[in-house]
């Protein structure tokens, strides 16, 4: 399903369309004066968590920081980073040959109704916990059916552990990803979300949409095979309600890329 999203900024009760044709009555109007914006993104810096086998992390080099010969202040930097680290997108091609790359994903996929499933209490006693179909149906019993095209976010409670690698990943051995422990999605639950609910995207507040102890990444492979992108290392999911948020997660548009950094936010009524 393709979503046609139209937004109007409202000032003093008057919708300003900036020269565009009048919005239909069915269009969604966002009044910024009554909207709360939650940042779902960890900042990129020297402490940003990357997968243990990543050859490097985030690097920021100063090109200029100071006053120029003409007397005005000027700063510019060079950054370098692998695609997969920090708050980022997993494009389907990351685990499925011929699937959508970062630049292929329709932009509508990056904006959708948010649904936040909270398994933090279960994960507290089991760092290898995975989301189950029963968790999903229990969520729906309390909050209604997950709509087609929704962005389903899994709150495990791991967000506050960022950026402590040992606490966040379960192991901080350099170059070794064989002994990680953190919760995430389970393949049966994701298959249900994809086939039965036709979700547009999934995301989690841990380092992977598969649990840390996974070695063959079934969730990645399943989501990728159905062109469902994933969001990893999300922040502040504890500030979102189970329903009612609009999620916007816009990645760098890297031509042919398998992922990339994301600036993700959620819009909520104040």
Name the H helices within the chain. 120-125, 133-143, 165-169, 187-195, 218-225
267, 29 contact by CB (below 8 A): no
115, 150 contact by CB (below 8 A): yes
88 noted as active-site residue: no
DSSP type of residue 30: B
Of the chain, the end-to-end C-alpha distance in Å amounts to 29
Find the largest Cα–Cα distance for the chain: 66
What are phi and psi for residue 19, nearest 5 degrees? 80, 0
172, 166 contact by CB (below 8 A): yes
Q: Is 29 helix (H, G, I), strand (E, B) or coil?
A: coil
Cβ–Cβ contacts within 10 Å for residue 122, how many?
16
Place of tokens 């819009």: 267
Q: Which residue among 42, 84, 88, 94 is the active-site one? A: 94
Q: Which of 103, 93, 98, 61 is nearest to 79 (CA)?
A: 61
* 3-state DSSP helix/strand/coil % of the chain, to nearest 5: 20, 30, 50
Catalytic residue numbers, as ranges: 94
């Amino acid at each position: 399903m393709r979503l046609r999203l139209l937004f109007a900024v409202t000032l003093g009760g008057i919708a300003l369309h900036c020269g565009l044709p009048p919005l239909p009555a069915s269009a969604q109007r966002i009044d910024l004066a009554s909207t709360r914006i939650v940042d779902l993104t960890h900042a990129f810096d020297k402490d940003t968590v990357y997968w243990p086998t990543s050859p490097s992390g985030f690097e920021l080099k100063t090109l200029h920081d100071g006053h120029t010969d003409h007397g005005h202040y000027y700063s510019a930097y060079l950054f370098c980073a692998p695609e997969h680290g920090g708050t980022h997108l997993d494009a389907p091609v990351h685990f499925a040959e011929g699937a959508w790359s970062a630049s292929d994903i329709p932009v509508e996929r990056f904006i959708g109704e948010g649904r936040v499933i909270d398994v933090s209490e279960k994960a507290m006693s089991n760092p290898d916990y995975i989301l189950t179909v029963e968790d999903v149906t229990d969520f729906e019993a309390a909050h209604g059916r997950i709509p087609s095209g929704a962005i389903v976010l899994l709150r495990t409670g791991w967000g506050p552990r960022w950026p402590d690698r040992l606490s966040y990943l379960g192991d901080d051995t350099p170059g070794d990803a064989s002994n990680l422990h953190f919760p995430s999605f389970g393949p049966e639950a994701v298959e249900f979300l994809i086939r039965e609910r036709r979700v547009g995207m999934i995301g989690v507040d841990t380092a992977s949409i598969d649990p840390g102890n996974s070695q063959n990444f079934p969730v990645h492979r399943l989501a990728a095979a159905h062109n469902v992108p994933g969001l990893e290392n999300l922040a502040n999911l504890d500030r979102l309600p189970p329903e009612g948020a609009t999620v916007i997660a816009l990645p760098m548009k890297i031509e042919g890329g398998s992922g990339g950094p994301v600036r993700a936010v959620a819009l909520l009524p104040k």
